[in-house]
A and B are shown apart, each in its own frame.
Chain A
Amino acid sequence: MEILNKFGFDPIMLAAQIVNFLIILYLLKRFLYKPVFKILKERQDKIEEGIKQTEKAQKTLEEAIGKETRILANAKKEAQMLIENAKSDSLELARQIEENAKTEVEGLINEAKAKISLESEIAEKKLSEHASALATSLLKKTLQDEIDKHGQRKIMENAFKKINKK
């Protein structure tokens, strides 16, 4: 005991220090460690969630990119098909137009030919009529004095017959 007194041992002070420390222990436990652990846990949760979300977003992004390429490929294919269709259609159209034009031209030509032959026929007829009229008048004028009326008629008839036979 003597030695303890030398060290300044004082039961009241000892008790005071113990109480003091216990109070501090409680305060730190309640108001320092607990909130710090809580916030550490919260942060960890948040970071985990963030990582998870990032992964999810990455996945969605990849999916979207895949979809995009697929859509683009489809669109390309469709566009190609459209172009090809248009090409063949236009070729067909051109061919048809050409054919139409050909037939039309042929028709026109035929028509013109027919018209020409008809006209030439008419002209020929007219010419022959004209010629026969000219011939009769010529014959009439030349034969008027030489042959009688009966003879005239006969000759004329013969002449007509011969002309008409031609």
Chain B
Amino acid sequence: MVSFAAEPIFFLGNFAVTNAFLDTLLVDFILILVVIFINKKMSLLPGFFQNLIEVMIDGFYNLTKSVAEKRADMIFPFFVTFFLFILLANWTGLIPGLTAIGIREEDHLIPFFRPATSDFNVTFGLALVSAVATHGLSIKTLGIKEYLGRYFSLNPIFLFVGFLEIISEITKVISLSFRLFGNIFAGEVVLGTISTLFAFLFPLPFLMLETIVGLVQALVFAMLTMAFMTILTTPHSEGSKEVSH
């Protein structure tokens, strides 16, 4: 059975290097490889790989543009980075054999890698970054006055609405982090269980399912972040204008 918490592999002083953290480093490594490769081979006539990256980035940019319009430039990096990071974190757990290598301890195996997003610390961290960045962008675009006006008002009705808004902001973080964590962790559990039932062929459909889940969850997290950012950076007046027409 997979434990909720990521298992430490070794300790650096007080810092426990868990298998999820190792997976985070693997994701970092892949992303940095992509960056290095792109920067080395960048040309006006793109090769296959550059084309792939360009299509992806351009597609995501257009998606952001269609939602956030003129604030797309600001929101886009968060959107894509969340997507890429979470996608790779989800999928690295699916690489066959990667989660099967580890240290045997008593009656169960502690793998060297487990999907980073199946560690609550990671998803919670991502959700926090998303929330802080959203509010940061909101303050930056709207100004502190209009930003605070969303939550605090002299009008008691709006004050209550503001109170609800604050709660919803907190729930956003919780729902973002637990949704991602739950989905990926559950996927790990399912795969582990199925593999113990019958290790050959049988887990294949589940692997496929988990691949899709990994993609969808990455997209959900990134899209939600983008949507929140768009909502919170839209001025009141502009928002009402958009509603009126």
Contacts and interface: CB of A to CB of B under 8 A. Distances in A.
Partners in one complex: yes
Interface of A: 4, 6-10, 12-18, 20-25, 27-29, 31-33, 35-37, 39-40, 42-43, 46
**Chain B interface main SS type:** helix
**Chain A interface main SS type:** helix
B240 interface: no
Contacts of B9: none
B31 A8 contact: no
B54 interface: yes
A35 to B, nearest CB: 6
Interface in B57-93: 57-58, 61, 76-78, 80-81, 84-85
26 contacts: A7-B5, A8-B5, A8-B6, A8-B18, A8-B119, A12-B14, A12-B15, A17-B116, A17-B122, A20-B28, A21-B81, A21-B125, A23-B28, A24-B28, A24-B81, A25-B77, A27-B31, A28-B35, A28-B84, A31-B35, A32-B53, A33-B57, A36-B57, A39-B43, A39-B54, A42-B44
Contact of A8 (B4, B42, B80): B4
B16 interface: yes
Interface of B: 3-6, 14-16, 18, 21, 24, 28, 31-32, 34-35, 38-39, 42-44, 46, 53-54, 57-58, 61, 76-78, 80-81, 84-85, 116, 119-122, 124-126, 128-129, 181
A33 B121 contact: no
Nearest to B130: A21
A9 B54 contact: no
Contacts, number: 106
B14 to A, nearest CB: 7
B113 to A, nearest CB: 15
A25 B81 contact: yes
A40 B58 contact: yes
A17 B121 CA distance: 7
Contact of B42 (A22, A39, A46): A39
B129 A36 contact: no
Contact of B81 (A4, A9, A28): A28
9 tightest A-B contacts by CB? A8-B5, A17-B125, A7-B120, A13-B121, A29-B77, A18-B125, A31-B35, A25-B81, A14-B121
B38 A35 contact: yes
Contacts of A40: 54, 58
A18 B128 contact: yes
A25 B78 contact: yes
Contacts of A36: 38, 53-54, 57-58
Contacts of B80: 28, 33
A14 B42 contact: no
A23 B31 CA distance: 11
Contacts of B78: 25
B125 A8 contact: no
Given A9-B121, A33-B80, 15 more contacts: A6-B4, A7-B181, A8-B3, A8-B4, A8-B6, A12-B14, A12-B15, A13-B16, A13-B21, A14-B125, A17-B21, A21-B129, A25-B129, A28-B77, A32-B38
